[in-house]
Amino acid sequence: MSLAPSGTGGGPAVIAEVEMNAGADSGATTVRATVVQASTVFYDTPATLDKAERLIEEAVGYGSQLVVFPEAFVGGYPRGSTFGFGINISIGNPKDKGKDEFRKYHAAAIDVPGPEVTRLAAMAGKYKVFLVMGVIEREGYTLYCSVLFFDPLGRYLGKHRKLMPTALERIIWGFGDGSTIPVYDTPLGKIGALICWENKMPLLRTALYGKGIEIYCAPTADSRQVWQASMTHIALEGGCFVLSANQFCRRKDYPPPPEYIFAGLGEEPSPDTVVCPGGSVIISPSGEVLAGPNYEGEALITTDLDLGEIVRTKFDFDVVGHYARPEVLSLVVNDQPHLPVSFTSAEKTSATKSDSPLKPY
């Protein structure tokens, strides 16, 4: 596939090489898909949503039916920030700088559902595209790294919450549970997602294989070369297409110091320093790299997915089918939500149905 300039002039490059529900051809065997490699407008969620719409419009202009965005595109991936931990954190000090950073990060996150979700759904409907979007989800005062799914009718379908944040991510993000590991059966194929390093969890991958995933989305923040090996392995293991989207970021895509400090790099990087080089890629079920990886800049990495390749690949290896040995090895997934507080009494049920003008909690 060739590298073509973006039609918007200042926009990303396009690596040139189904509509879900409304208007979709249920007999289609080819899906045109795009993974977006672009940076968040950090601490500015409305501007990030504006940028997302421009990128979706451009991808659809190239015929894309499925558009996948990176991890934490809406809300931002706090690259370089430690939120005060390992530096000067004082848990008893409410004015600690790390806590103020979290306050700003919390403000940039989105409620699900909420007005930003409504806007994303409208984008999917406007451009008649299936949309997979990485977001920072806010539920009360806890944040989650999530992926949201939308269809071309402009409907929000559901979400996946990252099951296991990595390293310092555990300071700022909560943990998902088994109730949000969806695979959606669409006219484009069966679509689901895992986020960044949870893709390295064999049992979690197997849960998606067990649901028949065909288009496996892997939004990430990992730009290392070894990530490509993981993506190729998953494509071969699952007999599925793997679409991995990462951000391409320079230091200037984040607020300048002292508002935002990059820790652990010795000295503050220059504004043009690349702090995440991307590496977004699309891989076939046979392990062939169809598009990417791109390490050059913001890009729309686009290719056609031949769904017939899935069947051809499964002839040799079907990890949860003819190549499984359930009498020896099996997996049980607890897919129930785990809530810290639940109310079972009839009195509570009655109270929530009262005539009180106050919202029940």
CA 306 to chain centre: 23
Q: Could you say which of 19, 58, 71, 214 is catalytic? A: 71
CA angle 208, 214, 220 (to 5 degrees): 65
* φ/ψ (deg, to 5) at 192: -150, -175
Active site residue 71: yes
Task: Specify which residues 139 forms β-bridges with.
Answer: 142
Contact 73, 247 (CB under 8 A): yes
Task: State the number of CA atoms in the 13 A half-sphere of 33 facing the CB.
Answer: 33
Active site residue 17: no
Q: What is the side-by-side strand order in the sheet with 189-193? A: 183-186, 189-193, 215-217, 241-244, 280-283, 289-294
Q: Could you say which of 17, 51, 137, 196 is catalytic? A: 196
Task: State the number of CA atoms in the 13 A half-sphere of 172 facing the CB.
Answer: 28
Phi/psi region, residue 96 (left: phi>0; alpha: psi -120 to 50; beta: rest), is: beta
- State the maximum Cα–Cα separation within the chain, in Å, rounded to a whole number: 65
Instruction: Give the pair of three-digit tokens for residue 293.
Output: 């990886």
Query: Side chain identity at 301, as an amino acid letter?
Result: I
Helices (H), the chain: 45-61, 97-108, 115-127, 169-172, 202-210, 225-238, 308-314, 346-352
Active site residue 249: no
Q: Could you say which of 51, 137, 162, 249 is catalytic? A: 162
Catalytic positions are 71, 162, 196
